[in-house]
Structure 1
Amino acid sequence: MKHPSPWPGKIVALLRAGNPAAAIAQIRVAPSVKELRALQKAMADATLAGRWPDVDMAIAESLAALSAPRLHRSP
C-alpha cells in the first residue's frame, strides 16, 4: 500500500507559519498534478482555501501548466 506524499502537509505548514511566499515558490515546482490536488484538499480541510489569493492563483497556474500535454517536467 502506497503512503500519501508529505508534500501537501509541508506546504500547509508553510502557510500556517505565515510564509505564503515560500509556499508559492514550492507550488511552482510541484512534483505532479496529484500533489497539487492533494494540496487543494488539504487546504480545504484546514480552512485555508481562499485566504491567500496569490497562493490559489499559483496552484491554478501550476495545475494548468502540468496538465498541458506538451509541458512535462523531467523526472
Structure 2
Amino acid sequence: MSQSSAWPGKIMALLRAGNPAAAIAQIKVAPSVRELRALEKALVAAQLAGRWPDVDAAVADSVSALSGPRLHRSP
C-alpha cells in the first residue's frame, strides 16, 4: 500500500487561497512527476483546470522537465 503525498493538497490550498504565484513557484520545484500528475488530477476533480493558464503551463513544463531521462534532482 503506497502513501499519497500531501504536496498536491498544499498546492491546491495555495490556489484556493488566491495565490497562484506561490503555487507556480512550488510547482517549479516539484518533488517528482508522480506528485505533478496527482496535482493535475486534483485540479480536474475540483473543476479548477483551466482557471489559471499560468498554473497549467507550469505543471506541463515541470512534467516535461522531470520526465527527461537525464533531468533529475538530487534529494
1:6-58 Cα shifts (integer Å, max 9, x gaps): 00001011000000000000000000000000000001001110000000000
Q: Say if 2:64 is the partner of 1:64.
A: yes
Relative to the length of structure 2, the TM-score reads 0.97
**Residue segments in structure 2 that go unaligned for 5+ positions in a row:** none
Structure 1 outlier segments of 4+, above 6 Å: none
Task: State the identity as a percent.
Answer: 76
Structure 1 CA distance for aligned equivalents of residues 61 and 32 of structure 2: 13
Gaps of 5+ in 1: none
Aligned residue-pair number: 75
1:15-34 equivalent positions in 2, closer than 5 A: 15-34=15-34
Give yes or no for the alignment of 1:50 onto 2:46.
Answer: no
* One-letter amino acid of the structure 2 residue matched with residue 25 of structure 1: A
